[in-house]
Chain A
């Protein structure tokens, strides 16, 4: 996984609540066996009309937001399906950070595993940042993970909370399977104990 340290970038405003993962990447695009190439279908029905042409009004079809690396949204972002294709699509488009009042649980987990930083900030603060984002290329936001601040274009710093373990993995670009495998002896002793305590647990054989 790529490390996330500090990012200064254009932020795209998406003032919608309950942006579900079907909206982020519709099911018809899940028939892939790769993680890459989904960016073109990010928010597909919002970005394209029935004929497949870009909707010129949609934020990600306008300059400078075509190159946005930060997304600002409203409540319950990423709700619904567990598809990791949603963060893959965001990442493939170029988004490295999403700021919203709250996120759905599974999407939250999935995003961090793909090097995307999700920041929870109160709705009023999100709306302020939405205003900054609306100013386009002259108003880049800076996200500094080490210091846990978002820096507005006017220099004001907004602090955010993040789980220290997630921060550690993200700052160092660590693969958490590697982290877990450091506990392999404990997993083995758990399995031994479990076999003794719950011998009835079935094995599957087809």
Chain B
């Protein structure tokens, strides 16, 4: 099936390797290696199977977990909120009825689906990975083709282990050079979205490349790929390399020994060929990227922490000007206001974007010897039970608690406010999550997206602050 003559991209290679059949109009029956399932977008899919009398085709290719609406306080006595409890119980009934592997709420391996997939070695390079969640793009950091799907497609994958898809277009985002001190993967991806816009990647899979991407650890690459969807892309990908192989080695579900060496030999063939074509290419200079913060209600409304809220009066396009005015009004800001002057009420550290051990270390490094500012509530929600265990083994929880941070149980939490962790109307939050949409973290809540280190800086100063100025 693959066209072996033409130079191919990483995406082309993974795609070609999974085409079961190409239909006359170009639609492909695409094989799915790994299907991750959670409680919010799956109940209607299992119900559909039940009504049609269908089974799950390959339960052993599937992994289910609860994350979206679970409380992050002590959970040993169960979930008190009745609707959340019903959704979790429904998933438990469904995985039992259909034989799907499931990590229960009180298992140490429970966590955000996009944290645990790579962490457990369930997500591997070269795989096709889907989940009923747009941030499935995260797993692309391994060199997998990973994308979010809706519930109808969840049902489709459960029933057939395939999807009907047309190939996406290729887009290359190169980031070359060395990132400055205090500048992180989160700042890189916010800078990329600021450049290309929230629809800049629509219809495309973005391959992130260049020396600054190569230099990122796997957690950083996951942060970057995670937010490819915020640029509208179907997926983000990074070519697998020695960093990837070292990360995969020893993970519980990953192949071991000779099988792993065989896999690595295959994964080495995946990086894009010299001369492979991309429909779009964007280049950023890593040395010019500084810590970023969003000012508006979509992720492209972003500026440097040293910058100001833009002035709509300077915008010539009337529709764009109206949107800027609406965003500034919603956010309770003033045109021209310095970002560093903006006080915060809440700081949220966590999510599939920034809930990994590396992120928590970055927060603890800033928090150590300091204290959360008066009147600020700061939460740290580990991305998984294993991240939480690791952080506790390193004593990070103690540093954070002593600094006045809340140390919570794993889950999606305040990233989307489906559980009790929500902003009150008008509250302002510096958040390490991925979406600053109106009401995303709670009705009327105001979100500023930042890196973990910047979130910590906001927590201890009480306002948006430049982490580079903290020793």
Contact flags (1/0) for A29-48 with B, using CB distance below 8 Å?
01111110000000001000
Contact flags (1/0) for A168-206 with B, using CB distance below 8 Å?
000000001101110110110011001000111111111
Asked if A105 lies at the interface with its beta carbon under 8 angstroms from chain B, I say yes
Asked if A5 lies at the interface with its beta carbon under 8 angstroms from chain B, I say no
A202 CB contacts on chain B under 8 angstroms: 121-122, 124, 253-255
Q: How far is the CB of B70 from chain A (nearest CB, A)?
A: 12
Query: Which residue of the partner chain, among A18, A83, A110, contacts B298 with CB atoms under 8 Å?
Result: A18
Asked if A119 lies at the interface with its beta carbon under 8 angstroms from chain B, I say no
Query: Which residue of the partner chain, among B133, B160, B203, contacts A180 with CB atoms under 8 Å?
Result: B160
B27 touches A165 (CB 8 A): yes
| Among B268-276, B285-293, B439-447, the stretch in contact with A | B439-447
A200 touches B259 (CB 8 A): yes
| Among B40-48, B176-184, B303-311, B338-346, the stretch in contact with A | B40-48
B87 touches A204 (CB 8 A): no
A109 touches B153 (CB 8 A): yes
> Given that A27-B416, A27-B417, A30-B418 are contacting pairs, would A205 and B202 also be in contact in the complex, using a CB cutoff of 8 Å?
no
B253 CB contacts on chain A under 8 angstroms: 202, 204
A180 touches B156 (CB 8 A): yes
Asked if A50 lies at the interface with its beta carbon under 8 angstroms from chain B, I say yes
A80 touches B435 (CB 8 A): yes
A8 CB contacts on chain B under 8 angstroms: none
A205 touches B153 (CB 8 A): no
Which chain B residues numbered 290 to 344 have a C-beta less than 8 Å away from chain A? 298, 319, 323
| Among A58-66, A71-79, A138-146, the stretch in contact with B | A71-79
Give the distance in Å from the alpha carbon of A53 to the alpha carbon of B391 in the complex.
46
Query: Which residue of the partner chain, among B31, B127, B134, B155, contacts A187 with CB atoms under 8 Å?
Result: B31
A50 touches B259 (CB 8 A): no
| Among B57-65, B449-457, B461-469, the stretch in contact with A | B57-65
How many interface residues does A have (CB within 8 Å)?
60
Give the distance in Å from the alpha carbon of A202 to the alpha carbon of B31 in the complex.
15
A177 touches B52 (CB 8 A): yes
A105 touches B161 (CB 8 A): no
B134 touches A81 (CB 8 A): yes
Asked if A84 lies at the interface with its beta carbon under 8 angstroms from chain B, I say yes
A205 touches B20 (CB 8 A): no
Asked if A23 lies at the interface with its beta carbon under 8 angstroms from chain B, I say yes
Asked if A159 lies at the interface with its beta carbon under 8 angstroms from chain B, I say no
Q: How far is the CB of A14 from chain B (nearest CB, A)?
A: 13
Asked if A132 lies at the interface with its beta carbon under 8 angstroms from chain B, I say no
Asked if A26 lies at the interface with its beta carbon under 8 angstroms from chain B, I say yes
Asked if B348 lies at the interface with its beta carbon under 8 angstroms from chain A, I say no
B151 CB contacts on chain A under 8 angstroms: 35, 84, 110
B437 touches A22 (CB 8 A): yes
B133 CB contacts on chain A under 8 angstroms: 81-82
Asked if B72 lies at the interface with its beta carbon under 8 angstroms from chain A, I say no
Query: Which residue of the partner chain, among A113, A179, A181, contacts B150 with CB atoms under 8 Å?
Result: A113
Q: How far is the CB of B242 from chain A (nearest CB, A)?
A: 18
Which chain B residues numbered 54 to 110 have a C-beta less than 8 Å away from chain A? 54, 60-63, 68-69, 83-84, 86-87, 90, 101-103
Residues of A within 8 A of B (CB): 15-18, 20, 22-23, 26-28, 30-35, 45, 50, 74-76, 79-84, 87, 102, 104-106, 109-110, 113-114, 163-165, 176-177, 179-181, 183-184, 186-187, 190-191, 194, 198-206
Please give 5 more A-B residue pairs, beta carbons under 8 A apart, in addition to A17-B319, A33-B90: A18-B199, A106-B150, A177-B160, A198-B266, A200-B255
Q: List 14 A-B contacts (CB under 8 A).
A: A17-B319, A17-B323, A18-B323, A23-B438, A26-B439, A75-B199, A79-B198, A80-B435, A81-B133, A105-B202, A105-B203, A165-B23, A181-B160, A184-B160
4 tightest Cβ-Cβ pairs between the two chains A and B: A110-B150, A84-B150, A33-B43, A113-B152
